[in-house]
Amino acid sequence: MTLESLKELRDKLKDRDEKIVKLLNERARISLEIGKIKKSQGLNIYDPSQENRVYHYLNEINEGPLPEGSLKEIFTEILSASRALQAPVSVAYLGPEASFTHAAAGSHFGKSASFSPQSTIFDVFDQVERRRANWGVVPVENSLEGTVKLTLDRLTSTPLSIMAEVFLLINHSLISTRNGLDEIKRVYSHPQALAQCQEWLKKNLPGCSLHEMESTAKAAQKVLEGDDGAAIGSSNAASIYGLNIISEGIEDHPSNVTRFLVIGRGENKRTGNDKTSIFFGTRHIPGALYNSLKPFAKKEINLVKIESYPIKERMWEYLFFVDFNGHMEEEKIKECLEDLQNQSTFVKILGSYPTGDTKS
């Protein structure tokens, strides 16, 4: 390839870039018109089911060489900018900044949203319930550590709905103001992160003392004090706080995934690939749980998750948290939930929403 042919190719790119910018602005003008209609009809600016259809369509028409993941990242920002043109979008998340929940919120809503870190899961729900934020993002379960009980606790009582789910692959890095393993004498992180990296720590930093922090982001802030410590956190935390990445991918199990929920007001339309979450209670008699689950088997509805949850006001009595495939607008789901109402003491529908991409 000659320098002349390189210039020709760059001129072609410049021409394509000009067309892309024009089309993006044309798309933005259409988006503004859609925003006006949404406002007049009292509809949410953020519509997870519609955005899911957009991503699905893009995958169908994508002929490459751009990978699906890269295309989704590009359009996440396009959709984020479009929402921001229609109206400000505020998102409360379990902080602080650079936490994994922050990363999940950013990957879902894009950079044009306004993000506010909250100290607790309760505070995230509170911000959305008081309309100080449009949406909230909270962790609900981890593939290694299990369910986040505090999130289930708030879901039992909140008037909010689950609007979407986000899966995030958790990659841990050792980050510090120092540059090498031989300079590290103590390691800070959240107890879960320390547990998830314990074999690596034993092998590579056997003499280091371990110190628990309330979050991986707080651990990153701690090592900014400049002692001989390091934090276990994300590469994003290293970037935000200006720390060095000493080692990446130090988790003992590479398939470490956390599921997050987007909470807010409203209902999603069907996409054809949906999930529904509910709570239900059973009578305190033999066979009660079996009878409550029979409608799901009868209607051939796949249960994705079922977990017992203690009722705090009544000792040794439980609610059951259930995720299943399908949308509450589907006829067989309606019939199943009606049968469940007859068999149970309590049923609360938390929401139907597009099934999240576990490859995120």
- 116 lies in the same domain as 141: yes
pLDDT at position 73: 92
Same domain for 166 and 134? yes
Same domain, 81 and 92: no
**359 located within any domain:** no
Does 109 lie in the same domain as 67? no
Residue 64 resides in a domain: yes
Structural domain total, the chain? 4
Among 251, 250, 205, which residue's Cα sits nearest to residue 228?
205
Q: Mean of the pLDDT values across residues 327-331?
A: 95
| b/e burial code for range 45-79 (CB count within 10 A of at least 16 → b) | bbbbbebbbebeeeeeeeeeeeeeeebbeebbebb
The answer to the question of residue 360 being in a domain is no
**164 and 46 in contact (C-beta within 8 Å)?**
no
Q: Which domain holds residue 161?
A: 88-170+257-263
The CATH number linked to 287 is 3.30.70.260
Confidence check: pLDDT of 162 > 70: yes
User: 230 with 289, same domain?
Assistant: no
| Secondary structure class of 226 (helix, strand, coil) | coil
pLDDT per position as a tens digit, 90-108: 999 998 888 899 999 999 9
pLDDT at 54: 92
Q: Are residues 280 and 296 in the same domain?
A: yes
User: What's the CATH code of the domain at 239?
Assistant: 3.40.190.10
CATH number for the domain spanning 27: value is: 1.20.59.10
Q: Domain boundary residue among 263, 288, 304? A: 263
Task: Please check whether residues 102 and 160 belong to one and the same domain.
Answer: yes
Query: Are 81 and 112 in a shared domain?
Result: no
Residue 164 belongs to a domain: yes
From 191, 219, 248, give the residue that closes a domain: 248
Model confidence at 189: pLDDT above 80: yes
114 and 133 in a single domain? The answer is: yes
How confident is residue 287, by pLDDT bands cut at 50, 70 and 90? Answer: confident
| Residue at 177 is within a domain | yes
119 and 188 housed in the same domain: no
Same domain, 286 and 301: yes
Q: Which of 58, 85, 112 is the last residue of a domain?
A: 85
pLDDT at residue 358, rounded to an integer: 78
CA dihedral 185, 191, 195, 200 (to 10 degrees): -30
Confidence (pLDDT) at 282:
87
**Whole-number percent of the chain with pLDDT over 90:** 67
Q: In this predicted structure, what is the pLDDT of residue 211?
A: 93
149 shares a domain with 185:
no
Lowest-pLDDT range of 152-161, 170-179, 202-211, 280-289: 280-289
